[in-house]
Amino acid sequence: MADIEIARSGAVLELTLNRPAKKNALTNAMYRTLNVALDEAERDAGVGAVLVAGAGDVFSAGNDIGDFVAAAQDGEMAGADFVRKIAAFPKPLVAAVDGLAVGIGCTLLLHCDLVYATPESRFLLPFVDLGLLPEAGASLLLPRRVGMARASAWLLAGESFGADEAFAAGLLNAIPATDSLLTTAREKAAQLAAKPRAALMAARKFLRGDTAEILARIEAELDAFRKALASPEARAALMAFLNKGK
């Protein structure tokens, strides 16, 4: 069974993180698959929107730390290309979140146009606790979206937060019941995909603001992230995390 399930429903492309035994933690191989799928979706005139979901009762626990460390040592981090792609993707992105959304599982939501999460969903941005830096433009986009106080609590203090707080802060569009999450997200994605394409994409571009500014922040974050990754404190924190799971 593929770790990324790719399905098409009308004009909506569905990408499902399908590694529930590992809490849908993302590997380099999964990022590569997502990158190819997004490239193809951008070129395919028949695709009007992309829906991202997670299999099982978790959205994503973020990066698979062991795989992530190995990829960083090899110098091939497909996750960096992924955050660039979602920031520059021209078509609507919809997310259906159930359960944990950690790290990139949370920051990718900042690039989605519509986000739905179940009442049980829980969000966490543990970058600083791991000796690392925020990514995916979160240092720019999160305070703009939720304000500096919440962004500091989430990114600096590493405080977890639930669906109610995420909704109140403006990170979510709605909190549907667990058994109607996918139905709701699919309906909304289909509605977006059915709208006049050129007008929709142009309006979305204006709403999202200066893509060049966001991409520049992503590159600055990535540079700082790589430097932090090589630091003794990050290595110690990552090794402690890995050993905790043994």
pLDDT value, residue 77: 80
pLDDT value, residue 68: 73
pLDDT value, residue 93: 98
- For the cut 80, the answer to whether the pLDDT of residue 246 exceeds it is no
- For the cut 80, the answer to whether the pLDDT of residue 71 exceeds it is no
- For the cut 70, the answer to whether the pLDDT of residue 170 exceeds it is yes
Task: Give 13-50 pLDDT, tens digit per residue.
Answer: 999 999 999 999 999 999 999 999 999 999 999 999 99
pLDDT value, residue 97: 98
Instruction: Count CB atoms within 10 A of the CB of residue 207.
Output: 8
Pick the range with the lowest mean pLDDT from 165-179, 180-194, 215-229: 215-229
Task: Give 75-104 pLDDT, tens digit per residue.
Answer: 678 889 999 999 999 999 999 999 999 999
**Cα gap 243→246, rounded to integer Å:** 5
Q: Which CATH code for domain 4-179?
A: 3.90.226.10
